[in-house]
A = this chain, B = another copy of it.
Amino acid sequence: MTDVSDWWRTSIIEMEPGKIHLRGHPIQDLIGTRSFSEMIWMMVRGDMPSPAQSKLFEAALVAAVDHGPQAPSIAAARMAVTCGLPLNNAMASAVNMLGDVHGGAGEQAVEMYHHIQEFDGDLAAALDDWMALRGKIIPGFGHRFHTPIDPRAPRLMTLVEEAVKADACCGAFLAIARGVENELAVRKNRPIPMNIDGATAVIYAELGFAPPLARGLFCLSRSVGILAHSWEQMQQGGRNKGPTPPHYRWTYDKP
């Protein structure tokens, strides 16, 4: 018979009255000595990042904090505040929206990079195989708004190059992502540059994070913008703010 105290098991935290150990470290030894991003790494993976890994990891977290109130998640947070929700519920409403389409591109891009890496054949064939399996949208490349280029991606790629030089990662996924970018440009006869999701996916893949964590870490990162916008809206006031002003409503489609 399963003992009830066995029902939940974890190697993340060990606790006794007066004692909290996270990943084997007394919490009081972590407070004031570890950065918040090091804590994120350690909590998720168990080990501590090297300084160079930490720097690269932090860059990915910083890059994705916000993309404005046009994004469904940020809009949801702001709407939620005007519905009377406190910050925890507003933040949850927003993070909940980071589904496959809104928050999943990073995860899918890591999967695609892995797929290409493990594929028996060249990159073009690997990409075809991916598209046959997963559809025509190439996660992490192209942007409906940021033309010609998403300013976050080249900056992040420069940091990956520096990290490769510092032996924080090996560069294999950077090479794959650049290969995808080149291949897409050839196929479409115009640049389809890497976007924020493709770029953070390179970093998460280089650092050895599993694909679902690209989404999970994005949720953490975007939670920063979500909090900032929720709080700004709380100070602006407003009651039951829907998507558009009251006199712009919707189009009724007669059945």
A interface vs B, CB < 8 Å?
1-2, 4-15, 17-20, 22-24, 26-28, 30-32, 34-37, 39-40, 43-44, 46, 55, 58-59, 61-63, 65-73, 75-76, 78-80, 82-89, 91-104, 144-152, 154-156, 158-159, 212-213, 215-217, 219-221, 223-225, 227-232, 234, 236, 239-255
Q: Is the CB of A11 within 8 A of B252?
A: yes
Q: Is the CB of B241 within 8 A of A244?
A: no
Q: Is the CB of B242 within 8 A of A87?
A: no
A250 / chain B contacts, CB cutoff of 8 Å: 5, 7-10, 68-70
Nearest-neighbour CB distance to chain B for A116, whole angstroms, equals 23
A44 / chain B contacts, CB cutoff of 8 Å: 224, 227-228, 231
Q: Is the CB of B152 within 8 A of A28?
A: yes
A73 CA to B216 CA, complexed, in Å: 16
Q: Is the CB of A102 within 8 A of B87?
A: no
A9 / chain B contacts, CB cutoff of 8 Å: 236, 250-253
What are 29 A-B residue pairs whose CB atoms fall within 8 Å in the complex?
A4-B244, A4-B248, A5-B244, A5-B251, A8-B75, A8-B243, A8-B244, A10-B229, A12-B229, A17-B146, A17-B147, A20-B67, A22-B65, A28-B152, A36-B58, A43-B227, A70-B243, A72-B80, A75-B79, A79-B243, A80-B97, A82-B102, A83-B98, A86-B212, A91-B219, A145-B246, A217-B227, A219-B223, A219-B227
